């Protein structure tokens, strides 16, 4: 292959693999990674990058801040703590796109800055108590907004742009066609009636069985949020009615392109499925009240170790209006617990 001959001549030996119509190029060092990237660019080849693991930012979710909290304020406050901050993004509900009081933060690595992992020790931000959790992305297929292929983002894409609407070599947002197309032609499968972003497309990567089982459950970061609380109310300790919401998140999936990576290890994920049999629930009555209650509390304690979200749900019950709302909080916490989700 001509491109591999060029790379071997200019950059030295690399490990190369072919699959799904693409060449994956694995480098042995950061220097070679950068040299291969430069060579591909100069030669005019289409490619996208996979960021080296040691260069990837730590992604965390900051909770317990007001819905209208300014993302720039969050970024500046974290910088004052010595962190290298990339992006701060307010998350949205997956289906309705409504904003949520969860903030996705990318913490960079630097020899002279605070270690990214130290952010988990942070308990206050801008005079407010916060919770910092690891980011757990939804197992959904990532699609590039630039070329509309899969398994990478536009930020790392050097492929030729492809428009969803007209199929020409420009991004969709730059297209002169602004109105909705009644009978679009998919640029991936060439079928009439849908665009390349349609998940039912024959070329759209399908989730594995493990991912499907996980996505039938609630998100692990589902949380009780307050949709109408302001920054002033939060600072003053004012409470209001709450509702549970689902946040949007996403993770990589299928089909690599000309892929430059300095990591040759393969990554695998596992999904543990548990079948819960219907067992009789003892009634609490008469003289056995205490013993049954103690048994139930022991089981609850075991469960809370596996599913810490239950603790937050039990505390949130204090603000629920009625028994039905309390039960809903508990069911949501059970459904969204980490043991139902792969890490």
State the residue range of the domain holding 316: 301-335
Q: Answer whether residue 21 is part of any domain.
A: yes
Percentage of the chain lying above the pLDDT 90 cut: 45
Residue 7 to residues 13, 57, 256: CA-CA distances in angstroms? 8, 28, 19
Select from 101, 134, 167 the last residue of a domain: 134
**Same domain assignment for residues 72 and 103:** yes
Task: Indicate the number of domains in the chain.
Answer: 3
**Same domain assignment for residues 102 and 37:** no
Backbone angles phi and psi of 158, in degrees to 5: -125, 30
Select from 114, 134, 154 the last residue of a domain: 134
**Same domain assignment for residues 32 and 61:** no
**Same domain assignment for residues 84 and 28:** no
pLDDT in tens, 159-182: 999 999 999 999 999 999 999 898
Q: Answer whether residue 65 is part of any domain.
A: yes
* Cβ–Cβ < 8 Å for 256, 20: yes
| pLDDT value at residue 143 | 92
**Same domain assignment for residues 96 and 24:** no
| pLDDT value at residue 265 | 31
What is the pLDDT averaged over residues 268-289?
39
Q: Answer whether residue 79 is part of any domain.
A: yes
Chain mean pLDDT for the chain: 76
pLDDT in tens, 233-278: 444 444 433 333 333 333 233 333 334 443 333 322 222 222 333 3
Q: Answer whether residue 172 is part of any domain.
A: no
CA distance 67 to 69: 6
Q: Which residue has the higher pLDDT, 127 or 265?
A: 127
Select from 134, 164, 194 the last residue of a domain: 134
pLDDT band at 208 (very low <50, low <70, confident <90, very high): low
Q: Answer whether residue 271 is part of any domain.
A: no
Q: Answer whether residue 341 is part of any domain.
A: no
Q: Answer whether residue 179 is part of any domain.
A: no
Q: Answer whether residue 98 is part of any domain.
A: yes
Percentage of the chain lying above the pLDDT 70 cut: 71
Question: Environment class of residue 66 by beta-carbon count within 10 Å: exposed (0-12), middle (13-18) or buried (19+)?
Answer: middle
């Amino acid at each position: 292959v001509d491109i591999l001959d060029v790379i071997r001549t200019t950059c030295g030996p690399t490990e190369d693999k072919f699959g799904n119509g693409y060449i994956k190029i694995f480098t042995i060092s950061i220097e070679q990674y950068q040299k291969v990237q430069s060579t591909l660019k100069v030669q005019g080849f289409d490619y996208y990058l996979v960021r080296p693991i040691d260069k990837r930012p730590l992604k965390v979710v900051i909770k317990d801040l007001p819905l209208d909290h300014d993302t720039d304020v969050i970024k500046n406050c974290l910088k004052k703590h010595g962190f290298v901050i990339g992006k701060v993004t307010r998350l949205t509900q997956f289906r309705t796109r409504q904003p949520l009081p969860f903030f996705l933060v990318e913490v960079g690595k630097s020899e002279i800055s605070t270690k990214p992992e130290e952010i988990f020790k942070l308990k206050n931000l801008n005079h407010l108590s916060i919770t910092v959790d690891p980011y757990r992305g939804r197992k959904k297929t990532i699609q590039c907004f630039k070329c509309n292929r899969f398994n990478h983002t536009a930020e790392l894409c050097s492929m030729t742009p492809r428009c969803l609407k007209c199929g020409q070599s420009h991004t969709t947002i730059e297209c002169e066609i602004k109105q909705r197309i009644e009978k679009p032609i998919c640029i991936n499968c060439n079928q009439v009636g849908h665009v390349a972003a349609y998940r039912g497309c024959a070329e759209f990567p399908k989730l594995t069985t493990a991912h499907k089982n996980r996505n039938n459950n609630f998100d692990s970061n589902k949380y009780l949020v307050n949709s109408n609380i302001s920054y002033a109310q939060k600072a003053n300790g004012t409470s209001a009615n709450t509702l549970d919401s689902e946040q949007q998140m996403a993770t990589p999936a299928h089909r690599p392109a000309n892929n430059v990576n300095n990591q040759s290890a393969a990554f695998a994920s596992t999904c543990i499925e548990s079948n819960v049999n219907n067992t009789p629930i003892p009634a609490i009555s008469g003289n056995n009240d205490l013993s049954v209650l103690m048994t139930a509390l022991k089981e609850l304690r075991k469960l809370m170790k596996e599913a810490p979200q239950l603790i937050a749900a039990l505390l949130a019950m204090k603000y629920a209006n009625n028994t039905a709302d309390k039960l809903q909080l508990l069911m949501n916490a059970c459904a969204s617990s980490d043991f139902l989700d792969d890490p």
